[in-house]
Structure 1
């Protein structure tokens, strides 16, 4: 029985990590875009917004993909995670190829925003993991008196 919640109703670590990271991202993306706009003008603000959103999309797809893989057959978890990672890289290269020729794109603002958003996402992952409920023996039936 694999669920996104424990028997006590607390969020699983994977769900808590995704939820916390999305919350941190929702707060940071506008700040990053504003910083890009203040430092590099309108093109910098737009580029920073796009860079931060591309990073968030990259991590959300990865988190959901790995969560789906881990919920399946345990023996395929590593291979499935590798497939998710390769798919993420293909998507990221495709995004870069699409944006490469854009006249409005400020490369420095885009890259800085993506890096900052990556750090924000990682902090959200750590905080979410620490807040998640970790079941040690999820398949063990508890006595009826507990």
Structure 2
């Protein structure tokens, strides 16, 4: 993982973790243990969803830059499939509060995206490869 990618993941993961702890405490106060578990699981799902996609896309972008957009589509489609499967698996779960889970996913998503945007704005990422450091010959061969 390149240092820019690591900074972006950290810039999104740390605020999401803090928001997850705060949201879990609020969920526990409002809806008890089921609410706390639902919110915590929701924030975790959002963080894993976005973090995994960002890390995977960074790997593909470094290894096969020509396949970047196709890989982005494939990664996103795969994530949606996993998310659908998870939601179908947890739809009748009695051990968590469904409304708290949804709020946790939404809160985790909002904080992750805000942290990722902030990190992207702060990281200096070159979009053009700099020329080599060889001395110039003034246009002569």
The TM tier, using the shorter chain, reads 0.7 to 0.9
Pick from 99, 107, 114 the counterpart of residue 90 of structure 2. 99
TM-score, reference length from structure 1: 0.84
Task: Name the counterpart of 1:87.
Answer: 78
1:24 aligns with 2:15: yes
- Structure 1 portions without partners, runs of 5+: 5-10
* Residues 71-103 of structure 1, C-alpha deviations (whole Å, 9 max, x = no match): 133321111111101111111112112212211
Task: Name the counterpart of 1:44.
Answer: 35
Pick from 91, 100, 124 the counterpart of residue 115 of structure 2. 124
Flag as ranges the 4+ runs of structure 1 deviating above 3 A: none
**CA deviation after TM superposition for structure 1 residue 139, in Å:** 4.6
**CA deviation after TM superposition for structure 1 residue 59, in Å:** 0.7
TM-score, reference length from structure 2: 0.86
Matches within 5 A, 1:64-79: 64-79=55-70
Alignment length (residue pairs):
135
Q: Which has the larger radius of gyration?
A: 2
Pick from 119, 124, 129 the counterpart of residue 133 of structure 1. 124
Any idea what SS the aligned residue of 2:93 has?
coil
Conserved? CA contact 1:52–1:114, under 8 Å: yes
Aligned CA-pair RMSD: 1.7
Give the Cα separation in 2 of the matches to 1:60 and 1:130. Answer: 18
* Residues 8-28 of structure 1, C-alpha deviations (whole Å, 9 max, x = no match): xxx42x332211111112211
